[in-house]
């Protein structure tokens, strides 16, 4: 992972500092293998757990390689643990129709998020970020919001497809997203976003460094370490490091004040609608996340700074064109469904609906929307990581 993903980055950074930017003959220019970050971390979890004697070394080579290379989640997660997957590979399995049906529902919901929403958001976001210098401030703000939706629907949609596909084989993968944009602070956001990576850094980096049971200065150190590593894990670019540092700064006051676990349950628990306070908290957390996503999406720190400058200084107008409305309606449908289903393992878990007519009406409506909204796209954001 160091050679394939980071060697050229470190050489280029060193050359810019000490060699006047001259990298002739120094760069490897190796094509990054798909999913290398996910594969490496999944394999590392097995090695570390065996080393710590939390898990016995597996003796069946087929089971081991099935764990390392289980295809549904290999390229973009979730990052699984050996303690969860290996026992499932070792146990005899029989086809379970109910589990398979539930897997197909989750695949359908993942396809809706990926094709109907993420790919259509990508079309608008790419065009705006590619010409941000000439866009109005409101258009830049809309593009930032749509990228926040895009990256969520792209990644969580793929995770749903992977988890649903695994269910067809009788394998249960861990949940990777839990309605992160319904979070009331940034700590809750990180408990709900890319859960498999967050818990990986918690278990294998944060806690071994002492976690929160050390001095305040070491808590600050530990917090920055895991967020900077999380940013760097996403890619060899200063923008990812800046994104990680930004979230560390947002997270730090909560952890120092002992409020980082203030919100652990579902928002508006046992209520149909959130309070005005909860709405305000969710909106603030979302805006803070959107600011971070601009850093994440930019190609360079300079471009990110320039984007923020144009966002503030450029005139504002009505940024919503007629061709954007279908995407906005799909996003609104997503928010409504995920809010109603926020207690369920996934949004299309319809065990509470007894009417088969209603269930199949929902399925066919989603399939119709997917076909109507389909555009040719090769964008899978997390495949590059």
Residues with catalytic function: 234
CA distance 290 to 135: 18
Note whether 122 and 377 are within 8 A (CB).
yes
The total of other beta-carbon atoms located within 10 Å of residue 25's CB is: 5
CA distances from 209 to 81, 95, 226, 298, 351 (A): 20, 43, 10, 31, 43
The whole-angstrom distance between residue 276's C-alpha and the CA centroid of its chain comes to 27
Tokens 């919901």 correspond to 109
Torsion of CA 221, 223, 229, 231, to 10 degrees: -130
CA distance 357 to 355: 5
Q: Residue 233 corresponds to which tokens in the numbers above?
A: 């894990």
CA distance 131 to 112: 28
CA distance 9 to 251: 27
CA distance 149 to 107: 19
Q: Could you list the beta-strand ranges (E) of the chain.
A: none
């Amino acid at each position: 992972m160091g050679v394939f993903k980071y060697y050229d980055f470190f050489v280029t950074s060193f050359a810019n500092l000490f060699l006047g930017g001259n990298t002739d003959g120094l760069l490897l220019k190796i094509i990054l293998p798909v999913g290398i970050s996910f594969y490496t971390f999944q394999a590392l979890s097995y090695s570390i757990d065996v080393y710590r004697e939390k898990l016995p070394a597996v003796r069946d080579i087929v089971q081991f390689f099935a764990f390392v290379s289980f295809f549904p989640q290999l390229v973009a997660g979730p990052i699984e643990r050996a303690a969860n997957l290996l026992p499932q590979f070792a146990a005899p399995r029989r086809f379970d129709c109910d589990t398979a049906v539930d897997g197909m529902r989750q695949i359908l919901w993942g396809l809706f998020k990926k094709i109907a929403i993420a790919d259509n958001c990508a079309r608008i976001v790419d065009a705006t970020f590619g010409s941000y210098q000439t866009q109005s401030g409101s258009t830049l703000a809309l593009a930032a919001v749509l990228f926040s939706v895009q990256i969520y629907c792209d990644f969580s949609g793929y995770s749903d497809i992977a988890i649903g596909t695994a269910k067809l084989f009788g394998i249960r993968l861990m949940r990777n997203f839990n309605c992160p944009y319904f979070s009331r602070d940034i700590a809750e956001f990180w408990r709900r976003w890319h859960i498999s990576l967050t818990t990986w850094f918690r278990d294998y980096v944060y806690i071994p460094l002492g976690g929160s049971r050390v001095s305040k200065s070491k808590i600050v150190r530990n917090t920055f370490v895991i967020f900077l590593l999380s940013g760097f894990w996403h890619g060899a670019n200063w923008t990812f490091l800046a994104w990680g540092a930004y979230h560390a700064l947002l997270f730090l006051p909560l952890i120092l004040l002992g409020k980082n676990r203030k919100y652990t349950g579902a928002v508006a628990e046992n209520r149909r609608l959130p309070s005005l306070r909860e709405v305000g908290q969710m909106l603030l957390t979302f805006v803070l996340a959107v600011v971070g996503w601009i850093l994440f999406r930019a190609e360079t720190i300079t471009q990110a700074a320039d984007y923020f400058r144009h966002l503030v200084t450029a005139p504002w107008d009505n940024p919503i064109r007629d061709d954007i409305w279908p995407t906005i309606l799909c996003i609104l449908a997503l928010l409504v469904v995920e809010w109603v289903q926020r207690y369920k393992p996934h949004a299309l878990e319809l065990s509470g609906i007894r009417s088969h007519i209603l269930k199949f009406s929902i399925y066919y409506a989603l399939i119709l929307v997917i076909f109507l909204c389909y555009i040719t796209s090769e964008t899978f954001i997390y495949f590059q990581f």
